[in-house]
A = this chain, B = another copy of it.
Amino acid sequence: MTVTLLGSASLLDRQSGRRGDAAYLCALAADPAARFLIMAGHTPLIAADPSGLWFSAAAIQRAAIGDAEPLFLGILPSSQAGYFALSACEASAAKLASHTDLHAPTDIRTIASSGSLPAGDVALAGLARSLFAWHESARHCGWCGAKTAMTDGGWKRRCEPCGKDTFPRLDPVVIMLVTDGESCILAHEPRYKPGMFSCPAGYIEPGEDIAHAVRREIHEELGLTVTDVAITSSQPWPFPHSLMIGCTAICLPGPLNIDPAEIVEARWFTRGEATQLVAGTHPDGVWIPGPQAIAHHLIRAFAEPA
């Protein structure tokens, strides 16, 4: 079984400078080489044959999915073929299933952790999920309330009455491995499955930098003071449209003071225990997210320093 960090959609050249060129996008979509990913709600449809996520224009026309303007994901550099995303209603998804053998609908987290699709495809399904979620949230203009229209291959929405443009939203989040040098602190949040512990995390707010957000979140959630914040890594996280920014920080001595609204339990794990968590062999049965999540890599880097 291969598993993958839910990573960057780097398979495609996004051609961001040509998103405003409607004729170019039309020609790409009309080319028989074009391929379409289909989201039914939050879940991509997956063909049982090796084509996986990617449907031809013929297939989507048979399912009557292709009426809406597709989101432009980019072109495949090797073939210059256009890759797009469409959203299917239940009826269209059923129609597609009637003439194509589909896998059972599976959410993106499960697809990522199962390794059933190539990493680059999972990332593109995540990109499509983030864009569609943003479109849902931006159907009306925040300034004036009028209906907005999708443009630029789905990378912009325009309000004709007031002339405002809005762009895809991306929420930066800090997620941090806090250590006292010997142990790291992990938390169990109310929404987690039983036994799961992970790195504390929280949205970055206006008026703060990344280090400030790390210090604030750790102080609010755990009552601890941290220093020496370092930014180590990042990951797009399409639930619905976050950018996870992985950090490390050093904890100063002091008592734990948990915010019960955010954290059920926080626990220090030694480096040896962290190694067990990464291997899935902790004797208490506690466990951490899999390698599709940046938390796994932060904990692994602590367990196995370079």
* B138:A243 contact, CB within 8 angstroms: no
B residues less than 8 Å from A236 (CB atoms)? 206-209
* A139:B136 contact, CB within 8 angstroms: no
Closest to A231 in B: B231
Q: Check: A39 CB closer than 8 A to any chain B CB.
A: no
Q: Check: A53 CB closer than 8 A to any chain B CB.
A: no
CB A166 to nearest CB in B, in angstroms, measures: 8
Between-chain CB contacts (< 8 Å), 5 pairs: A8-B211, A17-B220, A127-B206, A136-B143, A140-B143
Q: Could you tell me how many residues of chain A have their Cβ less than 8 Å away from some Cβ of chain B? A: 58
Closest to A141 in B: B140
Render A259-273 as a binary contact track against B, CB cut-off 8 A, 1 for contact: 101000000000000
Say whether, besides A139-B142, A231-B234, A9 and B170 are in contact (CB < 8 Å).
no
* A124:B10 contact, CB within 8 angstroms: no
- In the complex, the count of this chain's copies comes to 2
Say whether, besides A169-B169, A231-B234, A207 and B127 are in contact (CB < 8 Å).
yes
From 3 to 35 in chain A, residues with beta carbon under 8 angstroms from any chain B beta carbon are: 7-10, 14, 16-17
CB A213 to nearest CB in B, in angstroms, measures: 9
CA distance A94 to B139 in the complex (A): 38
Partner of A170, one of B17, B140, B205, B233: B205
CA distance A134 to B142 in the complex (A): 9
CA distance A220 to B7 in the complex (A): 21
Q: Check: A235 CB closer than 8 A to any chain B CB.
A: yes
Q: Check: A188 CB closer than 8 A to any chain B CB.
A: no
